[in-house]
Amino acid sequence: MHVGLIGAGAIGKQVLAHLGHRPEDSVTLLMRRGKRLPDGIKISAVDGLAALLAHRPDIVVEAAGQQAVVELMEPILNNGIPVIICSTGALADGALFSRLIHCAKNARVALTIAGGAVAGLDYVRIAALMPDARIRYSSRKPVAAWRAELAACGHDPDSLSQPVALFEGSPSEGAKLYPRNLNAALTVALAASPAPVQVRVIADPAVSGNCHEIDVESRLGSAHMEFDNAPDPENPKTSLITAFSVIRLLEDHRQVMARAA
C-alpha cells in the first residue's frame, strides 16, 4: 500500500512508525521545508501538493492541522484519491464540509473522518434522531496540556488545585478557539447532527490522561461514556490513541484493496 501522509507531528510519527514495520508499504510525506525527517523509516519527502499527487498514493492521511484540510483536501479528492481526516475541527465550516462531500461523491472515493479519541458514536447518532436529545461533550485534560491558556486566564498552572472550565459553548466556537484540541468535539457534533451539542473544556490537576466524556439523554434512555486516554509523549494535548485510530483505518483500507485486487 502506498500512503500519502500530510504532517509529521505527534500523529504522523506514530503512523510512520507503524508503516515502517511493513516492507511492502511505501510512504510519500508532505511536510514543511527544513523539518527533520524521522529516523529509521524509508519515505519519500515532498514539499508541495503537486509532488504528492504525482506519486499517486493509494490513500492520503491528513495529520497536519485544520489549514491542511482547508487547502489540500479538495484537490486530493478531485484527483480520485481517498482521504482520512484527523483535524475534524476544520469541518465546523459547513460550506467546506459540503464541498468535500461533493468532491468525494463526484470522484467516487472515500472521505473518512478518524474517530480519534472517542467511541460510542453509533449511540450518539441514534439518540440524535430524537427531538428531545441532549448531548454534551467534555474534554478534561491535565494542567500540562493547558499551561499557556491557564496563564492567559490569570491562573498559575503550578499551583492549580481545582478544575478550571476554560470554555463552554458550541463545537464550532470551541474549534475556532482551540483548533488543535477540540477535534473530538467536532467528531461528536458530526455524529449528532442535526442535534446540538454542548461542549466543555476543563483543565483538571487531578487527571493525568486526556479524558473525554460524552453524556446523552433522550426518550430512548441515557448514556455516560468516558474515555481516559494516554497523552502522546510528544504532545500532551493529543491522545496517543488518535494515531492508532488512523492506523486502524489504514489497515481497513488495506483489506479493501486486497479484496478488490
Please tell me the distance from the alpha carbon of residue 141 to that of residue 147, in angstroms, as a whole number: 11
- pLDDT for the residue numbered 60: 98
Residue 34: pLDDT band by 50, 70, 90 thresholds?
low
| Phi, then psi, of 144 in degrees rounded to 5 | -60, -30
Cross-strand partners of 29: 5, 45
Catalytic residue from among 18, 155, 212, 253: 212
Which residue type occupies 187? Answer: T
pTM: 0.87
Length of the chain: 261
**Cell 434512555, residue located:** 221
User: 172-225, pLDDT tens digit by residue?
Assistant: 898 888 877 788 899 999 999 999 999 999 999 999 888 999 999 999 999 999
Q: What is the pLDDT of residues 63-80, one digit of tens each?
A: 999 999 999 999 999 999
Q: What is the mean pLDDT of residues 59-64?
A: 96
What would the DSSP string read from start to end of 22-53?
-TT-EEEEE--TTPPPPTT---EEESSHHHHH
Residue 253 annotated among the catalytic residues of the structure:
no
The contacts of residue 158 (CB under 8 Å, 6+ apart) are none
Which domains, and CATH codes, for the chain?
A: 2-116+240-260 (3.40.50.720), 121-229 (3.30.360.10)
